[in-house]
A and B are shown apart, each in its own frame.
Chain A
Amino acid sequence: MNRNLTIEEHGAFRRILDAIAHPGRVQKLSDKISDLDGAALLFSRTLLDPETGFAVASSVRSDLASRIERTSGCRLVDLEKADFVFVAKPGTDGALDRIRRGTPDWPDASATVVYLVEALHEEGGDRSWSGPGIPGARFPKTEGLDPREWDLLGEANSTYPLGVDCFFLDGHGQIMAMPRSTRLDGGNR
C-alpha cells in the first residue's frame, strides 16, 4: 500500500470524524480535493473495503459507482443489505424506507447514507439541527437535495437509537454530517 495514499486517508478520516462529531459543520474533506467525484472516491477509500457492501440509490452515475467499487474493493449489493448507500440528486425518492436502520439489540447494524449534493453551507437553512455535537442549534443549508428528503430522514430516525447516519459531499469537495442523534425542527417556514 502506498504510504502517501495511507496518510491521505488518515487525514480524510479525521475530517469525517470531525464532521459527525459536529453535525452541521461544513469543511473540506481534503485540502487537495475540490470536486464531488474526488471527495466520493476519497471517502470510499477511507472507510470501505471488501468487508462492506454498498448500494446506489437514484441517479448516481454508473461510472462513479464502478470507480467506488474499484478503488475501495467493496461489493455492490442490494439496497436492503447495504452498509453504505450513495444517493445523488434529487434524493432517495422514498427508497430510504428500504435502507437498514439497525435492530433494538444492534442499532449499529444500520446503513450510512452518503448524499452527493451541489453545495453545502453552514448557515441559511430553514430547519434547526440540535442534539449531541451541536451547541444550541445550527441551520445548515444543502443545495441540490429534494426538501422532502428531510421529512423521510426525520421519519427514518424517529425511533432512536435505530436510524441512519448521513454524510453529505458537495461539488467543492466539502463534507457535512447528520448522525441519527440529530433532531430536526421546522422546515415549513
Chain B
Amino acid sequence: MDREAAPRGTFAFLDDGAKKDVRRALLKAVAIPGYQVPYGSREMPLARGWGTGGIQITLSLLKPDDIVKVIDQGCDGSVNAVNIKKFYERTAGVEITTDTALATVVQTRHRIPEEPLTDRQILVLQVPYPEALREVEPSEAQTRRMHAEADYARMWLHLYEDIVRFGEIRISYRYPCTVNGRHVMDPSPIPRWDVPKLHMADALFLFGAGRERRIYAIPPHTRVEPLEFEDHRFRVEDFSGKSCARCGATDTFLDEILMPDGSQTHYCSDSGHCDKRRAGWKPC
C-alpha cells in the first residue's frame, strides 16, 4: 500500500472517547503491574473473542510511522492475523512486517516471538480469560477480594493438588505468575516455554481482554515469577533430541505434527523466526 496516500476516515478507526478510555486504563495497568484495570470495551468490526482487546490497545497507540507485526499461534499467515493487519494498514497507514526485529509494535495471540524484544518494542497480547483465579473461584467479587488481600492460598492449593494427583503441575498454557512480587496474573494462553520471556524483559507487554473488558500490563525490568514449589520447580517444555524439520532449530518452541504414515515430525511454532533462519540468518 502507498503510505503517502492518507487513508480516509478516523485515524486508527476508534473514536476519541474510546481511545482515551483505553489509554487511561493502559497507564494505570503499567503503574500497577499485573492488576486488571477495567475499561469500556467498544463494539468492533469483528466479534469479541477474535482479539478485540488486543486490537483496541493497538489502535489506541499506533502511529503512522509504526511497523506492525501480527501473529496468531506463532504464525504470521493465519486468516485472522492477515485480516487484523489489513485493518491496521487501512485505518492507520502503518507498514506491516513478519520480521520481529523490524517491528515497533507486535500484536500476538498465544505466543511470544523467539527473538528477544528490545526496549523500543511493545508486545500486545490478546487475552481470552484475564482472571488467573477463575480456575479456583467462579465469583468475580471473591477473586477481586483475593487480589485485594493478596490471598492466593487457593491457587497454591490447586497447584499442590495437581502434584499430589499427577506428580507434577499439569498446566501447559496460562501458567499463573506473580508480577512485581504482588499480583498473580494470567499470562494469556502462551506455552510455558514463553513465560520466562516476561521476566525482567526489555520490552513493554500489554494484555487486552475485550470480552471481559480488562487491560493489564508488565512493564520492562519487572519480576515475573511462575508459581512453583521448592521441590517442584517450574519447568518449560522439553524438546531435547527434537529439531525443526524446516530450519533445523533445536532452541525454539516446536509444534508436533502427525504425518500420514503415523510418524511424528516437528516444526517451529514461530513461523517468522523459522523463515528468517532458513534464509541464512543466525541468532546472536
Contacts and interface: CB of A to CB of B under 8 A. Distances in A.
Given A108-B37, A179-B31, A181-B32, A48 B148 contact: no
B46 to A, nearest CB: 22
Contacts of A165: 27-28, 31
Contacts of A14: 61, 63
A161 interface: yes
Contacts of A9: 19
B144 A181 contact: no
Given A22-B220, A51-B17, A105-B144, A17 B27 contact: yes
26 contacts: A1-B10, A3-B11, A10-B62, A13-B61, A16-B23, A16-B27, A17-B23, A17-B27, A17-B204, A20-B30, A22-B220, A47-B24, A48-B20, A49-B16, A52-B20, A105-B145, A107-B35, A108-B37, A132-B33, A133-B220, A135-B221, A165-B28, A165-B31, A179-B32, A180-B32, A181-B180
Contact of A161 (B27, B64, B183): B183
Nearest to B104: A14
B110 to A, nearest CB: 23
Nearest to B180: A132
B60 interface: yes
Interface of B: 6, 10-12, 16-17, 19-21, 23-28, 30-33, 35, 37-38, 60-64, 119, 122, 144-145, 148-149, 180, 182-183, 204, 219-222
Contacts of B183: 161
Nearest to A74: B20
Contacts of B20: 46-49, 51-52
Contacts of A47: 20, 23-24, 27
Contacts of A108: 25, 28, 32, 35, 37-38
Interface in A96-124: 104-105, 107-108, 110, 112
Nearest to B122: A17
Among A46, A52, A108, A133, residue most surrounded by chain B Cβ atoms (within 10 Å): A108
Contacts of A105: 144-145, 148
A135 B222 CA distance: 9
Contacts of B16: 1, 6, 49
Interface residues of A, number: 38
Given A108-B32, A180-B31, A10 B220 contact: no
A112 B32 CA distance: 13
A147 interface: no
A131 B60 CA distance: 26
A160 interface: yes
Contacts of B64: 7, 10
Given A6-B11, A49-B16, A107 B32 contact: yes
B177 to A, nearest CB: 14
A161 B11 contact: no
A160 B182 contact: yes
Interface in A140-189: 160-161, 165, 179-181
Nearest to B215: A108
A21 interface: yes
A11 interface: yes
B17 A161 contact: no
Given A7-B11, A132-B33, A13 B28 contact: no
Contacts of A135: 220-221
A17 B62 CA distance: 12
Pairs of residues from A and B, 3 with the lowest C-beta to C-beta distance, nearest first: A179-B31, A104-B148, A132-B222
B38 to A, nearest CB: 7
A128 B152 CA distance: 32
A67 to B, nearest CB: 18
A95 interface: no
B135 to A, nearest CB: 21
Contact of A133 (B26, B37, B38, B222): B222
Contacts of A64: none
B24 A104 contact: no
B11 to A, nearest CB: 5
A21 B201 CA distance: 12
A161 B220 contact: no
